[in-house]
Amino acid sequence: MVKSDKHRPGLVIKIGTSTLTAGTDRISRGKIEDIARQIVELRDDYDITIVSSGAIALAKQYVNINRWGNMVDSKQALSAIGQPKLMQVFNEVFGDFGLPVAQCLMTYKDFENPESRANTKNTINELIAHGYFPIINENDTTAVEELVLGDNDKLSALVAALVGAEKLIIASDIDGLFNKNPKKYSDAELIPEITELDSLSNYIEEIDNGLGTGGMTTKVAAVRICFEAGVTTYLVNGANQFFIRKTLEGNIPFTKFIPT
């Protein structure tokens, strides 16, 4: 594949487990097809990197989970089973749309050491320059922070900052940030735009959906990283069809976090 010297704005898309399962307990190929169709539309306008969860959810489709506990070491083992299967699904579905993919497994140490940071950034940029779409996940077999704390929210923010992305879209199971928990209060109101983060802790109330490990706390932590790096972040509901394109067009509800 010929290397491209064309420079486009960077777009990082974080896909949570709740989005990939489309409200079920199984990974949805239909949702991944939905994502692939949008990338076909957007690839000429953006340099696109994907941060994807879902390895553990996919592993649970193949193993008897009654034999596995919920301890971190069991989740690490499930991740080791599910990660190659997750990449197989991405490779097959994206391949049908002519979108070649490459797997990148990272730990937070990759962002702490200057040499590792430079090597990681160069690898991602080379893949994109040659027309490949990086599919990034945490290396859960050796690192456990996202297993415990965040379903790749923080990882997606660090990736966006590292590659100098213009935008980060975090797809979850909620339309955005509300003034109170919409799953508990019918009068909760969506906050469409945030330009300062000092008061965000007043709006955070967690709900565990039993699938991913992420919550609003980890998403706000990710936004803080993006604010420091000048990356505009969108929190959207990944259940919406064409949620990436519609977010960029402003055609679905979301919260847009704008660094000032």
Domains of the chain, first to last = 10-257 (3.40.1160.10)
Let me know the angle formed at the C-alpha of 61 by 56 and 63, rounded to the nearest 5 degrees: 85
pLDDT tens, position by position, 54-67: 888 898 888 776 66
What average pLDDT does the segment 236-256 reach? 96
- Using alpha carbons, list the distances in angstroms from residue 164 to 97, 139, 151, 160, 210: 27, 22, 22, 6, 33
The confidence band for 145, taking pLDDT boundaries of 50, 70 and 90, is low
**pLDDT for 70:** 56
Among residues of the chain, what percentage have pLDDT more than 70?
Answer: 83
pLDDT tens, position by position, 40-51: 999 999 999 999
Phi, then psi, of 67 in degrees rounded to 5: -90, -5
Q: Does position 255 have pLDDT exceeding 70, yes or no?
A: yes
**pLDDT for 87:** 96
Kindly report the average pLDDT of the chain as a whole number: 86
